[in-house]
Each structure stands twice: as structure tokens, then as C-alpha cells.
């Protein structure tokens, strides 16, 4: 089935916006977006570790929040959405391989999006999960770095 060209362009623009974010020069992620869904992957390296040799919790949070954010923003065509709350549960440590996080919008109304996200290790085992609430902001997507 052929995708709506406006939606397809929006998803590509969001992907470009994500990859253009200066923070992502550190992580070098891959991203894929569709309606109400986002998947992000990064290859781990020692630079993401805390002093005990495993990935720092901030990396789990970033992966979960980012995948949830883009799942939510897939429904919003004019403005950047904002994370108003996000709860993270780290369920398994990881130190190497790839982290893949998948965000899915589970509820939305006029004022907010509720999104769940799950992160997996290279073997497909769940390593973290989170859920968050996102609202529409005032910053226009057309003014965001990378959103064409």
C-alpha cells in the first residue's frame, strides 16, 4: 500500500532533524519513523560506560525518550513536541553491541500524547522500558535544524 506523500515527507524530515541534532554526533544513531511509531538504534562503545564498565543510565534514557518523542511527533506536523514527564525502568545491564529502542503512541488527545518505549540488546532481550507524556510546543518544525 502506498503511503500518503505528506506523511512520508514528514517522517523523512523528522528523521533528518534527529540526525542533524548536534548531540547525535556522539551517538551516530539510525532512525526510522512511521505513524505513531519510531525505532532508533545505536552501536555501543566504551565511551558510553560508567566506571563499572556498563552503559550509563543516561544512554538508556536517551534511547527511550528519543524513540517515544519521534513516535509522538509523527502525529504533529507543525510544531516540536515536548517531553513533560518520562519514567525509565532499566531491567538489564548492557555493555556492548547494539541498543534498539522502539516507541509507540498508546494514547492521544487534543493536548497530549502518551507513549511507551522498549529498548532491546543485540540478542533481542529487553533491557529497559519507559513511558512518557508529550505535549505540543511552540517551536515550529520548519525552524528546527535538519527539518526541511
Homologous superfamily, domain 5-143? Hotdog Thioesterase (3.10.129.10)
In this prediction, residues 90-105 reach a mean pLDDT of 97
* Per-residue confidence (pLDDT) for residue 114, from 0 to 100: 98
- The pLDDT tens digits of the residues spanning 48-83 come to 999 999 999 999 999 999 999 999 999 999 999 999
What is the spatial distance between Cα 77 and Cα 142, in angstroms, rounded to a whole number? 9
Report helix, strand or coil for 63.
helix
- The pLDDT tens digits of the residues spanning 29-52 come to 999 999 999 999 999 999 999 999
Is residue 1 predicted with pLDDT exceeding 70? Answer: no
Q: Give the global pTM.
A: 0.96
* Per-residue confidence (pLDDT) for residue 34, from 0 to 100: 97
In this prediction, residues 89-99 reach a mean pLDDT of 97
Torsion of CA 121, 59, 28, 120, to 10 degrees: 20
Q: In what order do the strands lie in the sheet with 126-140?
A: 30-34, 37-43, 98-108, 113-120, 126-140, 79-90
Amino acid at each position: 500500500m502506498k503511503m500518503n506523500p505528506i506523511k512520508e515527507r514528514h517522517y523523512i524530515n523528522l528523521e533528518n532533524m534527529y540526525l542533524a541534532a548536534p548531540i547525535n554526533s556522539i551517538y551516530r544513531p539510525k532512525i526510522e519513523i512511521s505513524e505513531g511509531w519510531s525505532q532508533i538504534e545505536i552501536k555501543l562503545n566504551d565511551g558510553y560506560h560508567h566506571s563499572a564498565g556498563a552503559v550509563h543510565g543516561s544512554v538508556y534514557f536517551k534511547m527511550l525518550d528519543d524513540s517515544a518523542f519521534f513516535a509522538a511527533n509523527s502525529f504533529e506536523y507543525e510544531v516540536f513536541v515536548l517531553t513533560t514527564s518520562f519514567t525509565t525502568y532499566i531491567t538489564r545491564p548492557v555493555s556492548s553491541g547494539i541498543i534498539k529502542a522502539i516507541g509507540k503512541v498508546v494514547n492521544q488527545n487534543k493536548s497530549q500524547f502518551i507513549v511507551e518505549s522498549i529498548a532491546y540488546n543485540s540478542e533481542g532481550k529487553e533491557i529497559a522500558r519507559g513511558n512518557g507524556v508529550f505535549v505540543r510546543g511552540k517551536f515550529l518544525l520548519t525552524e528546527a535544524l535538519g527539518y526541511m
